Structure 1
Amino acid sequence: MIQIVEHTPQEGPYAIGTALEAAGLPLRVCRTWAGDPVPDTTDGLVALVVMGGPMAAYADFPSRTAELALLRAALDAEVPVLGVCLGAQLLAVAAGGTARPGAGAQIGWGDVRTAADAPADPLFADAPGRLRVLHWHHDTMDLPAEAILLASCDRYPVQAFRIGRSAWGTQFHLEVDEPAVEAFAGAFPEEAATAPGLLESAPTELAAVARHRDDIFKRFAAFVTARSEQTATRAFFTRRAATWEDRFTDDGPRYAAAVGRMGLRPGQRVLDLGCGTGRALPALRAHVGDDGVVSGVDLTPAMLRAALREGRDADGKLLLADACRLPLRTGAVDAVFSAGLINHVPDPAAALREWARVTTADGVLLLFHPSGRAERAARHGRPLDPDDLTAEENLAPALRAAGWHLEVYEDARHHFLARATRARTLV
């Protein structure tokens, strides 16, 4: 789901919404102008779009606090963000920058220059050196140090920027079409009057920028689509990372017992996939010793930060990576431990093949969960699913097809465990 936040009925997503819908992405609109509450979590979101409005990002308005909290949560979970005008200013504030009054109103059609970093940007890569766009603002912003400037103009230097790997802001209104320009002028007639020829020149101006506008928003839609599964996972676990250890304080001995079933030897190289807060790392280190190599991989930065707070980096290297596309050479490790991850990956068959690729012949894979299948189903108020991959009749052939041989399968009340060995040759 893509969350769109609107501040006025006139300032909707327009071309942004068109591009997202064309990509088959479902939209949910929060109309703050109609009293809709701003969501208090990024759970279920694959992107967040915050539109413009006449209020100031540096002054209090009813939804400001909630919007800043949502933006901060999105930045923390690397949920793709697109902020427009007021939305861009709020994004800058959420990231640690500031918003402030500008040097007078900037309203009407005008040029912006793309910056030196624009050609390497996922959205602005093919934008021309100059874009003629619609300006409609009085305020500006000072970006946090880590932000990347993507477009500028002499009067207002911050016109487009990126924060991190997945959040963009545009001070100008690239999203507009003819109905949008008419809506803006109708809602703010005194401001429109300061830009002679605004409506009359709109068809010509929009025709000139349409290709670049559509390309940038198509790129955003493609970016969101390509990352949607990862985004959903990050959003889910980011909010829970701070309390993860407190919620599962009794699981440590179960993890240690499971690691003991792997048959690890001193000096071996072992990978914990979906390591979370790293609770298996001490046991893995104990079995491979000081000469062994222990690495924990997780997709969620907040989980790895929690692992650092717990001191788990003393037992293994922590790596931010996608467990389905590991940055490791073939046969890099002797064993793989994975607790619960197989139920969260978008393509389990591909994941099992990737895990086989990085494991040596006769290497070990241990799939584990500190709860059995029936216990987990009951906790979520649902019956056992016959199509669940971790059911033995489903898991054995899935492992075999990926290059693993299932040797041990246990679905007990208080744990699930499957031990497999990697075939000497992969199909």
Structure 2
Amino acid sequence: MQPVAICRHDAAQGPGYLIDFFEAHAIPWRLFAVDAGETPPTRAGEFSGVVILGSPASVNDDLSWMRREQALLRDAIRLERPVLGHCFGGQLLAKTLGAQVRRNSVPHIGWGRVLVTRFDEAVEWFGARRELELFHWHFDTFEIPRGAKRVLFGTYCMNKGFAIGPHLGLQSHLEVTADSVRQWCRSDAEDIRLHRFASVQAEADILANLDARVTALHRLADRVYGRWISRLPGRTRLIVPVLPHTRPRGGESWGERLLRA
């Protein structure tokens, strides 16, 4: 099986629990530490899937490494290699699919509930629960790309997640660990201090009951990540139930159709 490409952009926003999950399920992976000077690939053919993690940058900054990652995502979509975007990664996936990314009305930092939509795609990814508690740390928001379905929405940010075919874009984080949340609070303390909104939790509130919150988050991540890896080429699809995705009329692949839309 080919490895999953993981693009990291900030030491405090590493793959965290995702690596534990991959190791437990024998999923090979390769990390591209963009924040440490590594160059992300532009071709997806040697990877079974692509994961884009968070970043303190905006997707609208149009930096060279972002252009490379967009090329990687376009190629992954064309080849139907599943893409998973966490926060910045969800925004970059949305932008690659033609949707706009803009400043959210307020920053959203800390633990907060989101609601699961009633689309079949949302149930496939998140199960029957209507309300989830996720970890958030973002200033921008994405529009829902054409052809995708909103799967999560929230109070402070309407678009918290979208799904299209085997691809999932999240405006939140499933991968954080208790240690990475503490590190994030230390490294980006100014984000909390300078933005006094109801949507921004104090550090003490973020760290309250942290171990229990992270444990619950990882139970949800097990389902989401399990569904995602079930779509990787060469992977047996027996981890979670998945509704079939038929090919569009005319013989086009999903990837070809998405790039044409």
TM range (shorter): 0.7 to 0.9
Match of 1:6 among 8, 28, 32: 8
Residue in structure 2 matched with residue 22 of structure 1 by the alignment: 24
Secondary structure of the residue that 1:91 maps to in structure 2?
helix
**CA spacing shift, 1:59–1:223, aligned 2, 3 Å:** same
Read off the aligned partner of 1:212 and give its amino acid letter. L
Deviations 1:38-59 (A, max 9, x none): 1121121101000001100112
Larger mean CA deviation between 174-183 and 78-87 belongs to 174-183
Read off the aligned partner of 1:162 and give its amino acid letter. A
Residue in structure 2 matched with residue 379 of structure 1 by the alignment: none
Larger mean CA deviation between 63-72 and 113-122 belongs to 113-122
Normalising by the residue count of structure 1, what TM-score does the alignment of the two structures yield? 0.51
Residue in structure 2 matched with residue 69 of structure 1 by the alignment: 71
Residue in structure 2 matched with residue 252 of structure 1 by the alignment: none
Deviations 1:5-50 (A, max 9, x none): 0001111111222212211111101111111111121121101000
Structure with the larger RCO, 1 or 2 (CA within 8 Å, 6+ apart): 2
Could you tell me whether the CA contact under 8 Å between 2:97 and 2:146 is conserved in 1? no
Residue in structure 2 matched with residue 176 of structure 1 by the alignment: 176
**CA spacing shift, 1:95–1:198, aligned 2, 3 Å:** same
Read off the aligned partner of 1:143 and give its amino acid letter. I
Deviations 1:139-173 (A, max 9, x none): 0011222111100012211101112x111011011
Residue in structure 2 matched with residue 55 of structure 1 by the alignment: 57
Match of 1:89 among 88, 91, 109: 91
Q: Does 1:209 align with 2:217?
A: yes
Secondary structure of the residue that 1:63 maps to in structure 2?
helix
Residue in structure 1 matched with residue 234 of structure 2 by the alignment: 228
Normalising by the residue count of structure 2, what TM-score does the alignment of the two structures yield? 0.82
**CA spacing shift, 1:73–1:119, aligned 2, 3 Å:** closer
- Give the deviation of 1:174 after TM superposition: 1.6
Could you tell me whether the CA contact under 8 Å between 1:107 and 1:195 is conserved in 2? yes
Residue in structure 1 matched with residue 157 of structure 2 by the alignment: 156
Gap runs ≥5 in structure 1: 231-295, 306-427
After superposition, residues 232-381 of structure 1 pair within 5 angstroms as: none
**CA spacing shift, 1:118–1:170, aligned 2, 3 Å:** farther
Deviations 1:349-392 (A, max 9, x none): xxxxxxxxxxxxxxxxxxxxxxxxxxxxxxxxxxxxxxxxxxxx
Could you tell me whether the CA contact under 8 Å between 2:101 and 2:140 is conserved in 1? yes
Could you tell me whether the CA contact under 8 Å between 1:19 and 1:221 is conserved in 2? no
Residue in structure 1 matched with residue 247 of structure 2 by the alignment: none
Deviations 1:203-243 (A, max 9, x none): 2322333322222222222332xx3379xxxxxxxxxxxxx
Secondary structure of the residue that 1:158 maps to in structure 2?
coil
Deviations 1:126-149 (A, max 9, x none): 151100111100100112221111
**CA spacing shift, 1:299–1:93, aligned 2, 3 Å:** closer
Could you tell me whether the CA contact under 8 Å between 2:6 and 2:52 is conserved in 1? yes
Distance 2:168 2:123 in 1: 10
Could you tell me whether the CA contact under 8 Å between 2:101 and 2:141 is conserved in 1? yes
Distance 1:5 1:301 in 2: 21
Identity, % of aligned pairs? 28
Residue in structure 2 matched with residue 281 of structure 1 by the alignment: none
Secondary structure of the residue that 1:113 maps to in structure 2?
strand
Residue in structure 2 matched with residue 147 of structure 1 by the alignment: 148
**CA spacing shift, 1:177–1:118, aligned 2, 3 Å:** farther
Distance 1:89 1:138 in 2: 11
Could you tell me whether the CA contact under 8 Å between 1:161 and 1:168 is conserved in 2? yes
Secondary structure of the residue that 2:12 maps to in structure 1?
coil
Distance 1:179 1:53 in 2: 18
Runs of 4+ aligned residues of structure 1 deviating over 6 Å after TM superposition are 296-301
Could you tell me whether the CA contact under 8 Å between 1:86 and 1:171 is conserved in 2? yes
Q: Does 1:195 align with 2:201?
A: yes
Deviations 1:60-118 (A, max 9, x none): 22311111111111111111010000000000000111111111211011100001115
Read off the aligned partner of 1:204 and give its amino acid letter. A
Distance 1:127 1:169 in 2: 19
Gap runs ≥5 in structure 2: 194-199, 237-249
Distance 1:115 1:176 in 2: 23
Residue in structure 1 matched with residue 108 of structure 2 by the alignment: 106
Read off the aligned partner of 1:178 and give its amino acid letter. A
Secondary structure of the residue that 2:61 maps to in structure 1?
coil
Read off the aligned partner of 1:198 and give its amino acid letter. I
Could you tell me whether the CA contact under 8 Å between 2:45 and 2:76 is conserved in 1? no
Distance 2:214 2:36 in 1: 30
- Give the deviation of 1:175 after TM superposition: 1.5
Aligned-CA RMSD value? 2.4
Structure with higher Rg: it is: 1
Could you tell me whether the CA contact under 8 Å between 1:113 and 1:153 is conserved in 2? yes
Residue in structure 1 matched with residue 245 of structure 2 by the alignment: none
